A and B are shown apart, each in its own frame.
Chain A
Amino acid sequence: MATKPTRREVLSLFRSLMRTAREFTDYNIREYTKRRTVDAFRHNRKLSDPAEVAAAFADGKSQLGVAKRQAVVYSLYAPSIKSVMEM
């Protein structure tokens, strides 16, 4: 199992997830990703057990991988018109 991640690593993961969220062309997925990362990080804020923290961090990293790949796939089929929410 990985050792407990440092604060910097956790914040860096948070930033990466938010940055990846920005790359989505679909408004809904973009907003969901931002919302979900904020909620998940806040929910896990009070964790103290190193094993739990490491598990949550690993989970976050795998989700980051998923998000990055999906951003690429979605951009291939991006709609040409903007969503009404973005106007």
Chain B
Amino acid sequence: MAEERRQKLCSVILPTESMKAIAESVGVGSLQEESCLALSEEVSYRIKEIAQDALKFMHHGKRRKLTTGDIDHALKLKNVEPLYGFQSQEFIPFRFASGGGRELHFYEEKEVDLSDIINTPLPRVPLDVSLKVPKEQQKTDSTEPLKAVKPGQEEEGSIQTKGQGASSAEVKGKEKMRMKPRSTHELSVEQQLYYKEITEACVGSCEAKRAEALQSIATDPGLYQMLPRFSTFISEGVRVNVVQNNLALLIYLMRMVKALMDNPTLYLEKYLHELIPAVVTCIVSKQLCLRPDVDNHWALRDFAARLMAQSCKTFSTTTNNIQSRITKTFTKALLDDKTQWTTRYGCIAGLAELGHDVIKTLIIPRLSVEGARIKAVMDGPVVSNIDKIGADHVQSLLLKHCACVVAKTRPLPDMVDQYKADYGYLGTMLCSHVVKARAQAAFQAQTVNRTTLTITQPRPTLSMSQSGLSASSGSRTPNIIKVPSSLTLMSTRPGTPTQPSPPATKYIVMATSAGAASTQQVITLSSSQSGSSVTSTVPSNPTSLQPLVKLESGTTGAVSGSRPLQKYIVVSLPSSSSSLENKGSGVLPSSTSPISMESAVKLERSESPAANIQSPH
């Protein structure tokens, strides 16, 4: 040790060559060797002195690194004019050069044109100093016992305590430090097979298989391990298929999302970052299908909007703020004038599904604006057919959602003129819708006392129709598209010729298959109020012995539980209505719902076959 120290302490002196070089640089040509020696000793000593003083400044500046500023201050102490221009903070670029038998290190100083400096744009202002305090500890005034906050939180990462008394703290601290080991979840061979089968079935052509697969996803309790894979599958799938405008596949994927959400053993919160963008894409994407004028992408948007609303309800917390973020996204697009009709439709649908309050605060105030926009398209010069269809859909969507809210909130006399004044172009139609809605409500109140079948159904479900018939009846794409189309049909759009009944009523027909031969039961569901609902039908298929479940979903009544919504399950069953009840509830995917919705189901026996099932558009 002593040896080392001695080494270090050897006084270092600048080489005399440096003195010569410096002397030359200031114009002193010949310097005697002795003078050089004397100079170098003197200079070395002074430099050391200054360095020692500069160290003081470093220590008081509470730094570990000596800066040029410290040297400046040290020079100032000695009454020496500081060096100007050495503002280099971190690194002083000394350059090395050799030549003429001499080696030099020098600091390259370039001549700078002042105008260049003046004309260069100012560099970015560095961030200002700010103070950061761990949040939960900020309220130092609070009377809460300090023990509640153990040391070692926030920045104070690790903790090492000595002494017996603190051993508990030690344990605690160590636990805190331990990172959860990163583990790769290897799927077993069976799981891999299952995953492959399921995903193939979900996007495959066989509707029967798909139904089975979705059923499995919705009910199987052991899927947790596969959840990340499913979620990636969906998110990737949407990304690819949106680009390719593959509407069918997008629908399948959304149904997968639905099934995942239905599974009570899965908790999706950790995968929302993948699922929500996928779902929102299906709501607001400009184009979802190859032929926007023909294909019914509107149903997909509706369905995805319901999914979105559902996940908001389930997962939105004050931390992730999903609902408000989603709302903001929709509202922003809605307020944008350039938004296309498709996206506009999606935004409105997405907002509307979030509940009455959202409709009241965000959509109704926009009615007149949107009305004017629609009017421009409808009455204006012939523009593209697509725009017209879009405007038409938006209009019916607005009327559907707003009518029930207005019916609730607006005092009675429904004067067309007033409506017109308040809501502009849409006022007239809205008025009639509101009147209908009120009538419906009144009618509903009466019918409630009749034979009713109350079925609670928790979540929206996209109908799945399963039958040999439809499966075999042609290419899968049209089939798929057909299903949603029936959905929109059900929505209360004026001018739908085939739907003369008040908007809220739906008929679902169930075909029984069993031994009852061709007997068919038709259940008429009448819901109290309109809402988007999906009806699906099962063509009677005597050959199939399997009871079929059909279902449809009502809007998710987001906010007010008071609003009776409808959802209906249609079950095909052998004979008696009592067994229908049993069966119906037995087959339901899941049994509890946050808001129990009441619906009145009117059962009717009808001799008519499945004629009115597949209602054409």
Q: A and B: real partners?
A: no
Please give the residue numbers on chain B whose beta carbons come within 8 Å of chain A beta carbons, in ascending order.
none
